[in-house]
Amino acid sequence: SAVISQKPSRDICQRGTSLTIQCQVDSQVTMMFWYRQQPGQSLTLIATANQGSEATYESGFVIDKFPISRPNLTFSTLTVSNMSPEDSSIYLCSVEDRLSGTARTFYGYTFGSGTRLTVV
Amino acid sequence: GNSVTQMEGPVTLSEEAFLTINCTYTATGYPSLFWYVQYPGEGLQLLLKATKADDKGSNKGFEATYRKETTSFHLEKGSVQVSDSAVYFCALEYGNKLVFGAGTILRVKS
């Protein structure tokens, strides 16, 4: 299955600043996903990132606040802009883990280890 | 719309007890269903999945069966260990997007 490297693993940031989170996959994937997990809560999808096109944002999330880049099939970044304490969360990237080729075995969705962000 | 409802926790069990965590879903069509586990301080790990009705997913002693008639995907394990203490999330997939339940905290005492 795919292996995802996500960094930083954690950060403490001042309000009003921005943080860029990186996600690297060890294989080429069509879609990458960014999720947010607020303290004690479940995961919510922020956006879907396809290579070569603008990310698609879910209701309640906007590009100005969470700009996403997807320069190639193995890498994506999520920026949390103009941060406030309400942005303190764990941010996770995810990919669809599917074996290409004749088998097209679907393994599920693999997640990075997450970035624990605290805004002070 | 699409949603997942999980039993509320925390669930506290003694080691070697039987575990059931209930999960029901609402969806259009027939989504794939997943259980993910999040150990303390770690990211999400896929525990098991089922992609069609009557499929049984299994891994590490955990099992769940996709029940279309009851729109359920309950997680079970015959004998839990302290190392199973974690948060368990039920999720469904539609259009390449995952919708998660609220999560259930499991605490296993020795």
Sign, CA torsion B56/B62/B68/B69: positive
**Interface test with chain B among A1, A23, A104, A111, by most B beta carbons within 10 Å:** A111
The total of other beta-carbon atoms located within 10 Å of residue A62's CB is: 12
Whether residue A113 lies within 8 A of chain B, CB to CB, comes out as yes
Whether A119 has a pLDDT exceeding 60, the answer reads yes
Burial tier of A79 (Cβ tally within 10 Å: 0-12, 13-18, 19+): middle
Residue A13, min C-alpha distance to chain B (Å): 19
Please answer yes or no on whether A113 and B49 come within 8 Å at the CB atom. no
What does the alpha-carbon distance between residue B71 and residue B78 come to, in Å, rounded to a whole number?
Answer: 22
Residue A16, min C-alpha distance to chain B (Å): 26
Q: Per-residue pLDDT averaged across B77-91, rounded? A: 97
At A46-98, the pLDDT tens digits run 999 998 889 999 999 999 999 999 999 999 999 999 999 999 999 999 998 87
Residue A73, min C-alpha distance to chain B (Å): 17
Predicted local confidence at residue A105, as pLDDT: 67
DSSP-assigned letters across all residues of B19-33: EEE-EEEE-SS--EE
- Residue B30 pLDDT grade (very low, low, confident, very high; cuts 50, 70, 90): confident
Cβ B94 vs Cβ B31: under 8 Å: yes
Predicted local confidence at residue A52, as pLDDT: 83
